[in-house]
Structure 1
Amino acid sequence: MPALDPAAVFNRAKEGWASPVGHIMAVNLKQKPELTSDPAGAALTGNTVTLTCRMDPSTGYWDSYWYKHTLNPETEKKKTYSYSLKIDSVSDGGQYWCRAGRGKPVYYTQYSDALWVNVTESPKAVLTVRPDERVFRGETVSLRCDIKWAGDTEWTYRWEIEGTNNQYKNTVSLCSTQELNISSVDLSHSGKYSCTGQIHTQRSQRSDAVTLTVSAEAQASVRVSPQPWLTEGESVTLTCEVSGSSKGWTFSWFRDHDHLSDSSRGAGGSYTLSPAALQHTGVYTCRAERGRPAYYTHNSSSHTLWITGVSAPVSLVIKPSRSQHFSSDSLSLSCEDQSNSAGWTVRRYTDKDTQTCANQTGSGCVMDSLSTSDTGVYWCESESGEKRHPRNITVHDGEMILESSVDPVIEGETLTLHCLHRSTNSPILSADFYKDGSLIQNQTT
């Protein structure tokens, strides 16, 4: 091997190039690494920034030395050119440097130019659901992910869904999809939903989870206040509600199956008659709707308003005089006026329609063989359309019925109930009585 000329090596190093001579490498004394970051823009807390310390690959292998905020002491020595910086807080931002080194004792390059890592508090995604977090099978549901951010707004979105039965977890990545729309939900869509936004490799904080509950069907119901029977001139309010859900509904009201024209009063869920008049007597139901396309509930159960004058000239006489009856039995109904019953007919309301009682004879009606379809509200109606004395009649196929007054019970009066058997049509000696499903009395006589 030829002798090494130290002067030649030194002169070549000053000229800015490196060349192997035997086992010795001449190094450019002005060489320094290039420091870059990915992403290059602002970093968000909770994310990771990758710093890369690049050397000319023709100069061989180097270790990387990293410096945070100050050049002394070094933050970390790494065997690779990359440094993963976990951004836990805004204080992780600031100046970073690197330099390369190798050998023993270590030979160091110059420091890289300082690189500023700008850190911003990561925004939190906000998840909203329309029309409600409690929905019903068949409704259209829209989930929207919003991120309040003053900088770059070109977010992409990631949706996470966890089933309520904990049997599955499904993560759906949707680029540039800010809204997740479900056109017709079913029970399988129930679960916890959350979302995050992403700019390049930086993510926002995850939104709070929203639990979407899908029920089989929506049922409207009616409340009457203060009571369903009143004298003309008084006031009454009917309120329509959807069980377990209160957001976004509008309501329609019906009397005797006819849609009430004053829809503005029904839009808020309540319908007020003030003052109530005789012609307001009838059977009321409501229905709720929401969303586009509209989703409709089933009609509520019926509620009858009894509105009478100061003196009621006509009464509906029912024989036998009770509200419940056995199927196949006969029933007689008649309108009786204190002076003259002419001009009055018996009308009825059922779940299907409103009609004149079959087998009408003058102001009376005889039903020879009752069926469950005869269940409904019956009243007397004049030729001019006035309604009087409505009464509820229920027909049962079973072996027992509850014998109770067909007329409304006045507060303070005494009420006696009997349990009747079909075969004897007489009170049962031993019976249990229930109110709203709860036992209230054991009766042995």
Structure 2
Amino acid sequence: MLVLFFAGQAKAVMTIHPKTSQIFSGESVTFRCNIQRGEVTDWEYTWRKDDVDSISRKHEYEMSEVKISANGVYRCLGTHIDNGTYSQWSDAVRLTVTGKSCYLSFTSLPPLKMVTTQEILYSGDTVKLRCDISNYRDWTYRWLINKERLSSQTSETTTISLSDQAGQYQCQGTRTKQPQNSYLSSSLHISVTGELAINLQSLS
């Protein structure tokens, strides 16, 4: 593709979302090409991966469930629909797609806490436990009591009965969109002495 440049050209600016040049296979990525002149609808867009061009009327280039073959250097260019003038090429953005089986990373310890407004808890009360991992939103949760998995609970909260589920609780999160686990949380120890239920926070 032969492109002529003239003084005073608009600049094309490419951005990538999410804001990282390295993603895992199976995730989605969107490139956006913004021409620093006029409206997005004033331009037709040329998308270049390495040395291969494609043309679109859209200023977004979305790839869902990307594969390793998407690795490469991306640029964009605008052609004004009315007068046919060209923008400058954007700066290059390199996309690196990593296979899921190659990486397994861990995030920090999630806090585990009891959610209740009661000041005194008694045997037979039901209370909610919450596992709070704030880095991302796409976590699936694993709950443990005394190191054993607690049924099939996968949400960030679980409700327990203090009369028959006293013990040491922990939680762990796994991201659903890439292979990332949290570490096991610190332990929340819940004991029942007679009628009174006591919870203690301690490190596992």
Same fold (TM over 0.5): yes
Sequence identity, in percent?
23
Letter in 2 for 1:138: G
Matched, 1:300 2:187: no
Q: Provide the residue aligned with 2:43 in structure 1.
A: 155
Shift in alpha-carbon separation, 1:135–1:212, aligned structure 2, 3 A: same
1:197 corresponds in structure 2 to 78
Q: Match of 1:259? A: 154
Q: Which of 117, 127, 141 is equivalent to 2:14?
A: 127
Q: Distance in 2 between matches of 1:127 and 1:152?
A: 13
Q: Is the 8 A contact 1:220 1:240 kept in 2?
A: no
1:297 deviation in Å? 2.7
Q: CA deviation at 1:194?
A: 0.9
C-alpha distance 259-181 of structure 1, shift in aligned 2 (>3 A): same
- Structure 2 CA distance for partners of 1:189 and 1:279, relative to 1, 3 Å: farther
How far residue 279 of structure 1 moved from its aligned partner, in angstroms, is: 5.2
Aligned to 1:223: 108
* 2: CA distance, partners of 1:151 / 1:136: 33
Q: Does the 8 A contact of 1:225 with 1:238 survive in 2?
A: yes
CA apart distance, 1:126: 1.4
Aligned-residue CA RMSD (Å): 3.9
Whether contact under 8 Å (1:161, 1:171) holds in the other structure is yes
Q: Secondary structure at the match of 1:259?
A: coil
Match of 2:58 among 155, 174, 177: 177
- Normalising by structure 1, we get a TM-score of 0.30
1:129, 1:279 → 2: CA distance?
48
Deviation at 1:185, TM superposition (A): 0.9
**Whole-angstrom distance in 2 between the partners of 1:185 and 1:284:** 31
- TM-score, scaled relative to structure 2: 0.59
Structure 1 unmatched runs, 5+: 1-45, 48-86, 90-120, 163-169, 227-236, 242-248, 264-277, 290-295, 314-385, 388-407, 409-445
Please report how far the alpha carbon of residue 155 of structure 1 lies from its aligned counterpart in structure 2 after TM superposition: 1.2
Distance 1:261 1:201, change over 3 A: closer
Compare relative contact order (CA 8 Å, sep 6+) and give the higher one, 1 or 2: 2
Q: 1:148 to 1:280 in 2, by over 3 A?
A: farther
Aligned to 1:334: none
Q: Which has the larger radius of gyration?
A: 1
Q: Which amino acid aligns with 2:65?
A: S
Letter in 2 for 1:196: L
* Letter paired with 1:259: T
Q: CA deviation at 1:240?
A: 6.8
Q: Distance in 1 between matches of 2:106 and 2:53?
A: 38
Consecutive aligned runs of 4 or more in structure 1 exceeding 6 Å deviation: none
Indicate whether 1:281 and 2:162 are aligned.
Answer: no
1:59-115: CA deviations, max 9, x gaps? Answer: xxxxxxxxxxxxxxxxxxxxxxxxxxxx4x4xxxxxxxxxxxxxxxxxxxxxxxxxx
CA distance in 2, matches of 1:157, 1:149: 14
Shift in alpha-carbon separation, 1:306–1:179, aligned structure 2, 3 A: closer
Deviation for aligned residue 1:301: 6.3
Change in 2 beyond 3 A, CA 1:305/1:279: farther
